[in-house]
């Protein structure tokens, strides 16, 4: 990891992308990987540097940026993927999640993490249900 002139964290890595071809019988044939430049800045760079290692399967959200620069009188063109968010691929990585409450936010107690994320919240038995709207 390096830092920009402004002091922002910058992570640059060369990543391999797997490619597969589906055959007529429904099976898949693995093709040669392609390799691409990936860059992340600030918190995404810091988290990527701290949590990812060579060979990890990950997912990144961001955009492709084309660039040009001069080297020894020649114009060099390229592209890089700028990751805004990056993390392990949940379908291909085994890991544990730390659900320890982070503390109070916006005047509310941190949500208890004992219940499964997929459980429905407990309904109040007192009073009639009131309509609600969220954005």
The answer as to whether 33 is a domain residue is yes
Positions in the chain whose pLDDT score sits under 50: 110, 112-118, 123-134
Task: Tell me if 125 is assigned to some domain.
Answer: no
Partners of residue 109 on adjacent β-strands: none
Q: Give the CATH number of the domain where residue 30 resides.
A: 2.40.50.140
What tokens appear for 31 in the block?
A: 């093709």
Alpha helix positions (H), the chain: 42-51
Is 129 inside any structural domain? no
Q: Judge whether 28 lies within some domain.
A: yes
Residue 28 lies in domain: 2-88
Token pair for 100: 């320890």
Structural domain contains residue 36: yes
The reply to whether 114 falls in a domain is no
Given a contact cutoff of 8 angstroms between Cβ atoms, the answer to whether 36 and 81 are in contact is yes
Domain annotation covers residue 116: no
> Is 102 inside a domain boundary?
no
Token duo for residue 63: 């955009």
Q: How high is the pLDDT of residue 42?
A: 97
Question: What does pTM read for this prediction?
Answer: 0.64
Number of C-beta neighbours around residue 42 at 10 A: 14
The candidate with the shortest Cα–Cα distance to 82, out of 44, 50, 52, is 44
Number of domains composing the chain: 1
Q: What is the pLDDT of residues 86-124, one digit of tens each?
A: 999 888 888 788 889 987 655 555 454 444 444 555 544
Distance CA 11, CA 48 (A): 8
């Amino acid at each position: 990891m390096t830092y920009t002139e402004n002091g922002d964290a910058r992570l640059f890595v060369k990543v391999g992308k797997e490619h597969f071809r589906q055959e007529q019988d429904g099976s898949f044939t693995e093709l040669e990987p392609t390799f691409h430049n990936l860059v992340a800045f600030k918190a995404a760079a810091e988290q990527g540097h701290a949590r990812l290692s060579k060979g990890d399967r990950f997912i990144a959200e961001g955009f492709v940026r084309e660039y040009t620069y001069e080297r020894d009188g020649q114009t060099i063109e390229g592209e890089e993927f700028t990751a805004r968010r990056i993390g392990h691929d949940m379908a291909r990585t085994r890991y544990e999640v730390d659900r320890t409450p982070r503390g109070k936010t916006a005047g509310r107690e941190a949500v208890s993490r004992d219940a499964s994320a997929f459980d429905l919240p407990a309904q109040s038995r007192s009073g009639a249900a009131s309509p609600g709207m969220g954005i």
